[in-house]
Amino acid sequence: MGDRWYTQMNEGARNMAKNYTEEQTLLMIKLYQTNPTRETVDKLAKDMGKTVKSVIGKLSREKVYIKKDYTTKRGDKPVTKLQMVQEIADMLKGDKARLQTLEKSSKAELLYLKVLVEDLKEGF
């Protein structure tokens, strides 16, 4: 696969048809920055005859797309098991590294342990 393959790949990339014109890109950026919501993305995709993923991809490449923050079903910011183990270690004033294997426990078990430790600290 020497120099010829490399040259063909580069020329192929340069000669590829663009999905969006410069005008479309500027319009997308302007409309999205005015109202950065999923509804705007859906409308842009419909109006331009593109998929939602294509529009999100283009806005991301242009560094204007704002990713929606992930939340749990209750609307809270998710907490990882590692974070829970570290919180438990802090409450017990223990060595976080020695409690790392607790991370293999289920989230429900870690939450229960955290509640028990909190109750012990408060004296019930």
Residue 32 · residue 65 · CB < 8 Å: yes
Q: Alpha helix locations (H) across 15-80? A: 22-34, 38-48, 52-61
Residue 57: name the closest of 47, 70, 44 by CA.
44
Mind listing the pLDDT tens digit for each residue in 15-61?
Answer: 556 788 999 999 999 999 999 999 999 999 999 999 999 999 999 99
Domain boundaries, the chain: 20-68, 81-122
Query: What pLDDT does 72 receive?
Result: 79
CA 110 – CA 93 distance, rounded (Å): 17
Mind listing the pLDDT tens digit for each residue in 51-101?
Answer: 999 999 999 999 999 888 788 788 788 888 999 999 999 998 888 888 888
Structure pTM? 0.51
Residue 117, pLDDT above cutoff 60: yes
Residue whose token pair is 């998710």 = 78
Residue 113 · residue 88 · CB < 8 Å: yes
Taking each helix axis as running N to C, give the angle between helix 38-48 and helix 52-61, from 0 to 180 degrees, rounded to the nearest 10.
Answer: 110
DSSP 8-state code for residue 102: G
